[in-house]
Structure 1
Amino acid sequence: MPEEKVAKAIERCNATRTGQERVDAARLPGRLEDPAETAYISIDDIGVTRQKESRKPGSGRETKYVENTVVHVAHGSGRYILAGVGMEGMFRLLIAFLLSNGLMKGRNLVFFTDGASNIRSSLERLFPYRPYTVILDWYHLEKKCREYLSSALKGKDIRNQVSGELLKYLWAGNTEYAADYLLHLGDDIVRNREWLQKLIQYLDKNYSYIPCYALRKELGLRNSSNPVEKANDVAVAQRQKHNGMSWSKHGSSALSHIRAIYLNGEADTWFREKRLGFQLSADEEECA
């Protein structure tokens, strides 16, 4: 994105901000992407109850899950959903899809995640040969902060006040000051400093993935992995997460694949010709 456009957006952001809430160009990690030249990839896991092959008399009812990985790819007006069991397999399928659509060369790759370590490790293992950007979804960052603060502080009112201040700094991408702010909270409002320290460690661990959300919003860039949350719902949850349902690994994966075929508008070519177009499509009514 042109530097002049970014500079003007920073001025607009800072027109109503003071102190550590201001957007600081020095904290920006690098050039921001041009949406027209970017593939936005959102990844998330969703678990469904696993079907047991057998149960011995008197054994407990230990609940285990089959983990589906759902990937939502967006480029321009095009959308595509990949869904199935096995994160590494889905990442390899994603690489094939990106290659098939010409998105591995001359395009920015921006991944949105909820901060799960298995997603980051898969990216590091399977994309070591080209640059990419990882962004921590704002909704999950906000949710995590409120959860930790609920255990760390004395009462809802104090939690709301502190989280309001903290999120202002994080919205501006000022992670260092946010951590310092938490570190210096007084004993009169802190109930459990261990939880406060866990939040500081969480921010430190995800430091590289927390951008300046305020600037991205001002420039019309994405801050959220909402598309994959919706894809999770329509590709897996609506069909497989109901009371009394349980699934084998193979069955859950197969149904997720078929549901994704319908969502991508490829049911006709698959059932008639046994092939997939494997191309970005704007025809994604259920996930619009």
Structure 2
Amino acid sequence: MRSEYISPLLQELVGYYSNRLSYKEVEKLVERISGEKLLSDQKIWQIIVNKAEQVSVEWQQENEEIDKIIKTDVAISSEVDIYDPDSPEILMFDDAIGVKKQKENREKLEKKEIDESENISKASRKFIITDVILLEKPSGGFKYITSPIDAQGKPLIPLEEMVKYQINYYYENHEALLPVVAITDGASNIRKRLSKLGSKGITLILDWYHLCKKIRNLLSMISRNKREKQEHSKNLLLYLWRGENTQAMNYLSTKIETKNQQKLEELKTYFKKHESEIIDYERRQKAGKSIGSGRVEKAVDLVIGHRQKRKGMSWSSLGSKALAILKVVELNGEWQQFWFW
């Protein structure tokens, strides 16, 4: 095989397995299948990056076409009856995941050498954050959305713009206001991003699992002993399960003797900040509607976690996000389209 030519089928093979195995393992797999060493791990990395950049450009072009055809954004409702079992909803989930970032001096060498197994000390540990959004489609199922990247691994288009394009594409002919309901963990960057989707914002629900986790974590630092923590946790979660936010705040102010006043104030601030997103979870669950973001927790694991959060691995921004883009293509059922376009 001439060094300057790599067949499309071989590129597709390494693209598929690079999201399942390390680059070294893919190199050995190709050698085992072909009987000769056709590609190095560095060359495989380059194939992945080149393809992700190509996909990113195609995403950008597709979105520009959508923008030309659909002149006005689909209108999103800011008021959705989240407790009515017969009221239609378009669900959206938003989450992010971080992986270890390579040291700066390694980033300069990444085109010469790939070594995913180097450990990074806790003191110098930094993370590369990738956001993934799931948007419910009219035909059922969900569209995976992440940001396209440039040659440095930086976003070509803001993620909220990507979501707008997809909403316009899928729901162009929707005559009424679009009843979008987003279930998230309440991170401020997520709330800020989703607020840009509609002129009056969209309906947000704080995921029940993350709400419980936050309360238990803070109560561990607030409560004087284990028994008090269990009692406080039981009472607070009972109030919040029924959407009784005022009672929960009163409980925090009158029923807790704390060993850490600062953390108690932090929990009060958390309740106030998310007051509009803490709903009557019991009522919504009885209506047969979702109260958790487990679907997107699984999604970020599929897109990033399973491949990139293995022991000892570290990543460049470009390498991490390139693999994420290819995995999103696969999960959206568009693999053949983008590899053999």
TM-score by length of 2: 0.65
Query: Which structure dedicates a bigger proportion of its chain to strand?
Result: 1
Contact 1:83 1:260 in 2 (8 A): yes
Measured in 2, the distance between the counterparts of 1:103 and 1:150 equals 48
Rounded to whole Å, the distance in 2 between the matches of 1:186 and 1:49 is: 39
- Distance between the aligned counterparts of 2:87 and 2:244, measured in 1? 27
Paired position in structure 2 for 1:48: 99
Query: What residue identity is the alignment partner of 2:93?
Result: S
Query: Which whole-Å CA distance do the structure 1 matches of 2:273 and 2:183 have between them?
Result: 16
What is the CA-CA distance between 1:186 and the residue it aligns to? 4.8
**1:30 to partner: Cα distance:** 6.6
List gaps (5 residues or longer) in structure 1.
1-28, 274-288
Pairwise CA distance, 1:35: 6.9
Alignment of 1:189-228 (within 5 A): 190-228=258-296
**Structure 1 pair 249–42 and aligned structure 2 pair: CA distance change class (3 A):** same
Q: Is the 8 A contact 1:112 1:225 kept in 2?
A: yes
Question: 1:73 aligned to 117, 135, 155, which one?
Answer: 135
Deviation at 1:169, TM superposition (A): 0.5
Distance apart, 1:36 and its partner CA: 6.9
Partner of 2:124: 62
Taking only the aligned residue pairs, the percentage that are identical comes to 33
**Alignment deviations for residues 39-74 of structure 1 (CA, whole Å, 9 cap, x no partner):** 111111111111234169xxx861111110011122
| TM-score, length of structure 1 as denominator length | 0.76
Name the residue aligned to 2:329. 261
Alpha-carbon spacing, 1:140–1:87, altered in 2? closer, same or farther (3 Å): farther
Aligned to 1:237: 305
* Residue type at the aligned position of 1:46: I
2: CA distance, partners of 1:78 / 1:30: 21
Q: In 2 relative to 1, CA 99–186 (structure 1 residues): closer, same or farther, beyond 3 Å?
A: closer
**In the alignment, residue 72 of structure 1 is paired with which amino acid?**
L
CA separation in 2, counterparts of 1:36 and 1:211?
16
Give distance in 1, aligned partners of 2:186 and 2:133.
15
Q: CA contact under 8 A between 2:99 and 2:308: conserved in structure 1? A: yes
| Alpha-carbon separation, structure 2, partners of 1:232 and 1:172 | 29
Partners of 2:236 and 2:157 in 1: how far apart? 35
Counterparts in 2 of 1:88 and 1:203: CA distance versus 1, 3 Å:
farther
Partner residue in 2 for 1:152: 222
